[in-house]
Amino acid sequence: MEVMDSVAVMEVSPVPKPPLEAALALRRSARCLNRTRRPTYVEQEEPKESAGRRRGGKRKREEEKKEPVAQDAVKPVRMGDAASERKPMSAIAAEPVSCAGFTRPAAEDDVLGNGKSAKLRVKETLRAFTSHYLHLVQEEQKRAQAALQEGQKRPSKRPDLKAITKMQESNAVLYPEKIIGELPGVDVGDQFYSRAEMVVLGIHSHWLNGIDYMGMKYQGKEEYANLTFPLATCIVMSGIYEDDLDKADEIIYTGQGGNDLLGNHRQIGSQQLQRGNLALKNSKDNGNPIRVIRGHISKNSYTGKVYTYDGLYKVVDDWVQNGVQGHVVFKYKLKRLEGQPSLTTSEVRFTRAEAPTTISELPGLVCDDISGGQENLPIPATNFVDDPPVPPTGFVYSKSLKIPKGIKIPSNCNGCDCEGDCANNKNCSCAQRNGSDLPYVSHKNIGRLVEPKAIVFECGANCSCNNNCVNRTSQKGLQYRLEVFKTASKGWGVRTWDTILPGAPICEYTGVLRRTEEVDGLLQNNYIFDIDCLQTMKGLDGREKRAGSDMHLPSLHAENDSDPPAPEYCIDAGSIGNFARFINHSCEPNLFVQCVLSSHNDVKLAKVTLFAADTILPLQELSYDYGYVLDSVVGPDGNIVKLPCFCGAPDCRKRLY
């Protein structure tokens, strides 16, 4: 059996002794969860006050920093002289149409209680839905496996629809009441990977119907006194009806009803002027704006489609005609309103976030692969900021964690005796170590972590399952095309060329494993990551405990042992490391940190792994929360050290520490 742990024993030069005047050491930490769990989402409590608490972790500074060239650094490859970073392709202009009487929500409407921006609340809602969805996918797979073993054939169930029900039962739908016009936190160009995601946000409240509308219950409300109901609020253009015509800023939309819903777009009966059809006709008379969402085929979506919000339109005409099959259909002409951001989709293709296809033609290329062939996929680097442009330097790339001879990694963990994939064995001992279920679910051949956990127990070298087992998900190396790029204010960053789904592993944080006492007080190293899994499980120093903390603690840490004040070990990526050292901080990150064990049970030496917290679209930058407490850094003169944050998130804390 091939050893899957990414470790290597090596000679490592000792850490130089810090000067007496060195400031308080700062180290990256796994303490921030950054991904909402199902049981706590609906509570929506005020954030806990964390001022005054010390957070460990030397950190890659966001400010500009020149690095010395290492002897073994990657060699630059210069190609292209573009003057700026790549931008999305040109968009489609809208024909001006006014919509008097209906205005954009005021700025204060972008904040929805508890001091959170509407954008953050959208993200939290989608995370809660994803958590429900992945748990239900896991339950469905277990049910199907049990039925197969019993020789029974049972109809499959829709975990996405069951997740909608869970959200509705817990009052977690973001906008449960119908809203005319824009929804705070939902911007033109935002993409969704299922109808269910749009339902739990409230942007389109039905998972099947193409027309969403306000029913007669709204008629008596004072704010709608002059409107005729039912009233349309949103339509989805997804190619179901053969009579639809989409010219981007002008739409000929076919009413609902009479379709066989079998995917062949054929009309089998006449439509009636009721429900959604009547709502669209009334919207023409009322003059209210209607949200338009376009659906496109997407191989990266678990539903096979991706849906893009393309802004507000107005119904300018309606008529009745015989359709292609001779049946009566209702037709509506909609035009896009003026003053909105440019369209990001058209009828035939996406024009947003189109990633490069070849590295050799990449503008601003300064290195064709910073890993030097170590990763499954090359990682190019681009630079439009420096003049002349230079590649990342000052480190030696290593996809494996380097273990000094003075530190011994135990290998005393018993393995499972499963054959093939552990997901097919309900008695898998590795599943029992995780509580009863495996931490991952495989959906369309993509392994995804169901939820952030106190610790993830993966299969290791002592297990008999194969290397494709779903419980080895984080050990399979780089699975996505990435790019390291120079930012204007944050040094180097990392962005993806592929769509990454929530729960997907990104990488292990690699470097040299060290004892924390060796690096305390070092000012010149901003790439040290604390292995603070035990402190997080115990909820020490303001850390947020995760699922499974109380269950796993007795076996990983004796009750009579004192609480360790600080992590015993850390990962030093100052001179040796992988692309994870370039991933920047964000106050609203799209990654979270997860501790992983496989070959042993020493949580103080767990692997530090980054996972996707959200759906990350092509050309979006990867980020996680560095987890500093404000005013926690003190300089050698005793004064508080402050560093501004440049993440640009709507809920940015304005300072890194």
Share of the chain above pLDDT 90, in %: 46
What CATH code is carried by the domain that includes residue 196? 2.30.280.10
Q: What number is the average pLDDT over the span 212-239?
A: 89
pLDDT of residue 608: 95
Taking the chain, what is the end-to-end CA distance rounded to the nearest angstrom? 45
Instruction: Check pLDDT > 70 for residue 623.
Output: yes
Domain annotation covers residue 481: yes
Render pLDDT for 348-359 as a digit per residue (tens, 0 to 9). Answer: 344 445 677 789
Q: Rounded to an integer, what distance in angstroms lies between the CA atom of residue 198 and that of residue 63?
A: 38
Confidence of residue 588 (pLDDT cuts 50, 70, 90): very high
* Residue 523 and residue 439 in one domain: yes
- Asked whether the beta carbons of 657 and 644 are under 8 A apart, the reply is no
Chain mean position to CA 10 = 35
Q: What is the extent of the structural domain holding 435?
A: 353-545+565-630
* Residue 325 and residue 357 in one domain: no
* Residue 196 and residue 233 in one domain: yes
Render pLDDT for 382-425 as a digit per residue (tens, 0 to 9). Answer: 999 999 999 999 999 999 999 998 898 887 788 999 998 998 88
Domain annotation covers residue 342: no
Which of 81-90, 460-469, 470-479 has the weakest average pLDDT?
Answer: 81-90
Neighbouring CB atoms inside 10 A of 494's CB total: 22
- Asked whether the beta carbons of 624 and 589 are under 8 A apart, the reply is yes
Structure tokens belonging to residue 224: 């709608």
Render pLDDT for 271-287 as a digit per residue (tens, 0 to 9). Answer: 888 899 999 999 999 99
Q: How high is the mean pLDDT of the chain?
A: 79
Neighbouring CB atoms inside 10 A of 240's CB total: 18
- Within a 13 Å sphere around the CA of 70, how many CA atoms are in the beta-carbon half? 14
* Residue 329 and residue 398 in one domain: no
Confidence of residue 59 (pLDDT cuts 50, 70, 90): very low
* Residue 389 and residue 315 in one domain: no
Q: What number is the average pLDDT over the span 129-133?
A: 95
Which domain-ending residue is among 336, 363, 388? Answer: 336
Q: Which of 581, 387, 622 is nearest to 488 (CA)?
A: 387
pLDDT of residue 470: 94
Domain annotation covers residue 101: no
* Residue 362 and residue 290 in one domain: no
CA–CA distances in Å: residue 115 to residues 46, 108, 118, 119, 296: 8, 11, 9, 12, 35
pLDDT of residue 28: 65
Render pLDDT for 541-556 as a digit per residue (tens, 0 to 9). Answer: 767 778 777 777 666 6
Share of the chain above pLDDT 70, in %: 74
Domain annotation covers residue 376: yes
* Residue 296 and residue 369 in one domain: no
pLDDT of residue 33: 43
Which domain-ending residue is among 336, 366, 395? Answer: 336
Instruction: Check pLDDT > 90 for residue 22.
Output: no
pLDDT of residue 19: 44
Render pLDDT for 561-576 as a digit per residue (tens, 0 to 9). Answer: 666 667 899 999 999 9
pLDDT of residue 564: 63
Which domain-ending residue is among 336, 367, 402? Answer: 336
pLDDT of residue 62: 38
* Residue 501 and residue 618 in one domain: yes
* Residue 391 and residue 289 in one domain: no
Domain annotation covers residue 92: no
Domain annotation covers residue 84: no
Render pLDDT for 276-329 as a digit per residue (tens, 0 to 9). Answer: 999 999 999 999 999 999 988 877 777 788 899 999 999 999 999 887 677 788
pLDDT of residue 103: 47
Domain annotation covers residue 95: no
* Residue 481 and residue 620 in one domain: yes
pLDDT of residue 463: 94
Confidence of residue 97 (pLDDT cuts 50, 70, 90): low
Confidence of residue 347 (pLDDT cuts 50, 70, 90): very low
* Residue 540 and residue 575 in one domain: yes
Q: Rounded to an integer, what distance in angstroms lies between the CA atom of residue 471 and that of residue 460?
A: 9
How many domains does the structure of the chain reveal?
Answer: 2
526 vs 475, higher pLDDT: 475
Q: What number is the average pLDDT over the span 142-160?
A: 76
What CATH code is carried by the domain that includes residue 622? 2.170.270.10
Domain annotation covers residue 328: yes
Question: Which residues are CB-contacts of 338 (< 8 A; sequence separation ≥ 6)?
Answer: 94, 95, 96, 97, 98
Q: What number is the average pLDDT over the span 255-268?
A: 64
Confidence of residue 79 (pLDDT cuts 50, 70, 90): very low
* Residue 310 and residue 458 in one domain: no
Confidence of residue 12 (pLDDT cuts 50, 70, 90): low
pLDDT of residue 51: 30
Q: 113-144 as b/e, with b when 16 or more CB fall inside 10 Å?
A: eeebbbbbbbbbbbbbbbbbbbbbbbebbeee
Coil, helix or strand for 217?
Answer: helix
